[in-house]
Every structure is written in C-alpha cells, then in structure tokens.
C-alpha cells in the first residue's frame, strides 16, 4: 500500500530521516520546512496523512494543524505530531487543535510506518 504523506519539520535532519524511512516502503513524501510552507505544499496535494513538528519558525505546529483543520478538504486527514516535546498539556493542546496522534523524537521508523498505516490505511 502506497501512501501520500506531507511532512512538516524545520529540521533538515528529521526531514532526511523521514524521507529515507518512508520512501523505502514506497510512500510518496512531500516535505515542508515550517507551517507556512506546509500550507503552501498542501494546497497542491491530497495527502493520506500529515506529519507535523510543533516547534517551528513562522507558523508552529499548533497553528498549522488548526489551519489544516479549517479547510473542508482536510478535516478528516490524519495528522501525526512528531516532536521532542512530551508534556501532557502540549499533547492535549495538539489534540484540541485537531491532531490524530503523537510520536516523540527520535522516532523509530517501523513504529512510525505502523502508526501511518493505522491512521491512513
């Protein structure tokens, strides 16, 4: 099963790691450097799932998730938060914004792939 994924993270290293892990299993990956760029990329694609960091310049993950959920077309698109943060209040805030799940960095590629299959497959 091939999934179309949008990954939004300001870390080049994380973007490279996601690209390696996800393209290896046949997923199509679209990358963005922050929330603003993520919305620009999203305008031209229909992802099966979105992966977003929280701490980013210009537009953070919370604002990005809220903006995505504000678009009729993407109300049901699964959004996984991928971040170094693990505080319960931040998880609750992400859920309130519309996040589907939460994965703490550094991520384990097989677990991330399993989570994507669960939410988007």
pLDDT in tens, 20-48: 999 999 999 999 999 999 999 999 999 99
Please give the pLDDT value at position 121.
74
Q: Where are the domains of the chain?
A: 4-120
12 C-beta neighbours (distance < 10 Å), count: 10
Mean pLDDT, rounded, of the chain? 95
Q: What element of type H or E holds 97?
A: helix 88-97
* DSSP, residue by residue, 42-82: HTT---SEEEE-SS-SSS-HHHHHHHHHTSGGGTTS-EEEE
What gap in Å lies between CA 17 and CA 27, rounded to an integer? Answer: 13
Q: Which CATH superfamily is domain 4-120 in?
A: Response regulator (3.40.50.2300)
């Amino acid at each position: 099963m091939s999934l179309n994924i949008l990954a939004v993270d300001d870390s080049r290293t994380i973007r490279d790691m996601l690209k390696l892990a996800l393209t290896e299993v046949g997923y199509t990956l679209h990358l963005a450097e922050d929330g603003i760029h993520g919305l620009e990329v999203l305008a031209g694609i229909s992802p099966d799932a979105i992966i977003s960091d929280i701490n980013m310049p210009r537009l953070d993950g919370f604002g990005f998730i809220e903006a995505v959920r504000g678009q009729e077309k993407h109300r049901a698109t699964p959004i996984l938060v991928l971040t170094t943060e693990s505080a319960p209040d931040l998880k609750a805030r992400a859920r309130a914004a519309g996040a589907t799940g939460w994965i703490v960095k550094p991520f384990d590629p097989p677990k991330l792939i399993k989570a994507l299959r669960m939410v988007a497959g």
